[in-house]
Chains A and B, each alone.
Chain A
């Protein structure tokens, strides 16, 4: 299929539609407005439904409703709106309903700025809502990767009966690149999903979605099941890219657009004789723990966390795996201020040089 030029926000929307999404509800916020804009035009073409909700809370609640009758449903927002949707995310996970949530991140905290930032790592990976649950979280770096990951997001969500998060930074949402789009998936719902409240003709089964658990042991059972599920993600679902790491003495760790900036910086550093590589987590949940823990710390002299966030939010996850075997440094910009390739080149070079002197 021919490649076409597409914006990150449009790519996530089109890939979701091709992956079977037939319901979208959202509320406007920069820098993700192109997603609802695209969906408002696209979903009616495929018999789907687009609703601009009266608020973020209403929107995710509509997604909750659509999902409960077996429709592949999606919402999107940016940090401030994702905060509002966090209650709904917790309810989706608590009632074991699949959904796709997209966060196009901007500067925070608070209303923050509308410019790109990677400010929501804590929010997306640690606790998007109350009750102690996790969601698989994908962090693509290019428009093609947005397409590939989004296209299969509903399979994960339905397998686990849990919402899935797609984390795009504002920069990735805005850039245009070539993408190759996959075929439209045929989703057959002739027999209702076991979790769906929609009963097809002739189908006989109990239908209920449990919201409050008045039998406490049942809730304990759910959480134990989830705990096992999270462990299985760690074993089977981690996605990670290694870039020039084979002989690297210093390893940068970055995701999303930061990883791309780091790659050009690393090429420049290699030119100068610095043995630097990059580990790029593609899944933030599950985090590529084994890949970081399993590095050869006889060779690796330092780890450098590069993020559009100050303080660096991913650093704790990295440090847990490095476990004191090498120093973990950080470099970042925040609040919607961006770094470029030359800035990262300089920053990494300075860290390496001063660690050698020290």
Chain B
């Protein structure tokens, strides 16, 4: 099994923390994970991209630098335009329709539209856009079980208290619902 996920958006959207969470969870489940961040000198508003490759021992991903991905998470228009050609045929695109207004011009992929920022506002957790997107991705890709990801969220946010954990779990569940429909 090997899966490569590209996550891209602008700085501040939680691109890097989403990638790290994905790699962390895969790692906790005993899978091999490689997380490669790529960003410029800007802290906010600049281009942000990360690549996460998950594989098991029988079928290893060696290269952190991959041309094609199995899943693409695009959080803004530029990311969609830039990385859509790198999504494999039959791959999964999760796009943040709160920001992306253009339509992806491919009919050979699975498309999951997630108005992540709107949902985040609705569940009163404005920073959780990336968790909603990850919820949708994991539900659609079957890469990591939703339950496993949720226990990882609980561990990760333990120091922030139960209210934060619950709010993040709720956001993740909203994403899961959208991912399961497709």
The interface of chain A, by Cβ under 8 A from chain B, is 3-5, 114, 171, 174-178, 257, 260-261, 263-265, 267, 338-343
Contact = CB atoms under 8 A, between A and B. Distances in A.
Contacts of A260: 62-65
A258 to B, nearest CB: 9
A5 B33 contact: yes
A176 B34 contact: yes
B20 A176 contact: yes
Contacts of B72: none
Interface in B139-177: none
B41 interface: yes
Contacts of B37: 174-175
B32 A178 contact: yes
B62 A263 contact: yes
9 contacts: A5-B27, A5-B35, A175-B64, A177-B32, A261-B64, A264-B62, A264-B63, A267-B62, A339-B65
B63 A341 contact: yes
Contacts of A178: 27, 32-33
A343 B61 CA distance: 16
A165 B37 CA distance: 25
B63 A177 contact: no
A264 B2 CA distance: 12
Contact of B64 (A5, A171, A342): A171
Nearest to A143: B34
Contacts of B62: 260-261, 263-264, 267
Contacts of B66: 264, 340-341
Nearest to A177: B34
Contact of B65 (A3, A176, A267, A338): A338
A5 B24 contact: yes
B68 interface: yes
B23 A171 contact: no
B65 A171 contact: yes
A265 B68 CA distance: 13
Contacts of A265: 63
A175 B34 contact: yes
A-B pairs with lowest CB-CB distance, top 8:
A342-B67, A263-B62, A176-B35, A264-B63, A261-B63, A340-B67, A340-B65, A260-B62
- Best-surrounded residue of B23, B36, B41, B62 (most CB of chain A within 10 A): B62
Contacts of B64: 171, 175, 257, 260-261
Contacts of B20: 5, 176
Interface in B118-133: none
A264 B61 contact: yes
A175 B35 contact: yes
A5 B23 contact: yes
A177 B62 CA distance: 11
Contacts of A174: 36-37
B33 A177 contact: yes
A156 B140 CA distance: 50
B181 to A, nearest CB: 31
Interface string B58-77: 00011111111000000000
B41 A114 contact: yes
A158 to B, nearest CB: 33
B180 to A, nearest CB: 28
A261 B34 CA distance: 13
Contacts of B61: 264
A5 B24 CA distance: 7
Contacts of A338: 65
Nearest to A30: B41
A340 B33 contact: no
Nearest to B30: A3
Nearest to B36: A175
B167 to A, nearest CB: 25
Given A4-B27, A5-B24, A264-B62, 13 more contacts: A5-B20, A5-B23, A171-B36, A171-B64, A175-B64, A257-B65, A260-B64, A261-B62, A261-B64, A340-B63, A340-B65, A340-B67, A342-B67
B151 to A, nearest CB: 16
Contacts of B65: 171, 257, 260-261, 338-341
A343 B63 contact: no
Contacts of B23: 5, 176
Contacts of A340: 63, 65-67
Interface in B80-107: none
A179 B58 CA distance: 18
A3 B24 CA distance: 11
A4 B23 CA distance: 11
B141 to A, nearest CB: 20
A324 to B, nearest CB: 31
A341 B67 CA distance: 6
Nearest to A2: B28
Contacts of A343: 67
A177 B34 CA distance: 5
A177 B32 CA distance: 8
